[in-house]
Structure 1
């Protein structure tokens, strides 16, 4: 639990202190999208198939923390610093760097409590390595859609 609380405070602080690009509207969209998308994914992998879980296999209040306030600020930072108007190789490298950070962080979360809070069933780090870039591309697509909607709303 200590590792989770430190992560939540640190990631939220960094996300809001370093944000230079995202509007409040975009942050709210990304936050809600992240929670909904993660809840949907975790509902299947965590609760239906017991692939992984936070703290223990049961649904509990402390398990809400990683679902609601841990991942959204990470997505805000990812989008805030994303090199949109650069060559594809730089964008690919950016995603690769985030992937390495994600995998290192996930490894740390597997430590025993009080530092760790994540547990594997049949899930493995290799699965995360494959799926994380896909999730980041979905996030990018969603963000670009929100930006288009904002432009359309402003032009009216």
Structure 2
């Protein structure tokens, strides 16, 4: 739980202090979209199929902060720093660096409690390596089509 709370505090401070692009309404959109999308995926992968989970492989109040306050600021940072208007190559490099950062962070969350809080069932880092860029692309398309 310690690692989760520190991550939430750190990610939110960085996201809000470094924000130069996103308006309050855009931030609200990003938070609601992220929470709804994450909860929809986690209902199946986490709860139904036990691919991964936070703390315990069941519906768990302790996991609520991870569901509502961990990923939205990460998505804010991704969109705030995204190189809109840059070359496709620069955007690809940006995706690559984010992929490395996300996979590294996921590895850190797997350490034992109290610092770690994430657990694998049948899920593994390879699945994340494939799924993360797709999720970032969905976020980017949502931002461009509905928020920007």
Once residues 62 and 89 of structure 2 are traced to their aligned partners in structure 1, the CA distance between those partners, rounded to angstroms, is 40
> Residue in 2 aligned with 1:122?
122
Identify unmatched segments of 5+ residues in structure 2: none
| Aligned twin of 1:34 | 34
- The question of 1:54 aligning with 2:54 is answered yes
Partner Cα distance (2:147, 2:40) in 1: 24
Does residue 1:87 correspond to 2:92, yes or no? no
Secondary structure of the corresponding residue to residue 53 of structure 1: strand
User: In the alignment, is the contact (CA less than 8 A) between 2:52 and 2:123 conserved in 1?
Assistant: yes
Query: Which residue in 2 is equivalent to 1:153?
Result: none
Give every structure 1 segment of 4 or more consecutive aligned residues whose post-TM-superposition deviation is greater than 4 Å.
none
Q: TM-score, normalised by structure 1?
A: 0.93
Number of residue pairs aligned between Structure 1 and Structure 2: 148
User: d(CA) in 1 for partners of 2:119 and 2:19?
Assistant: 31
Preserved CA contact (<8 Å) 1:30 1:75: yes
Structure showing greater Rg:
1
Give the alignment's TM-score, normalised by structure 2. 0.98
Gaps of 5+ in 1: 149-156
Following superposition, the deviation at residue 146 of structure 1 comes to 2.3
Which residue does 2:4 correspond to in 1? Answer: 4
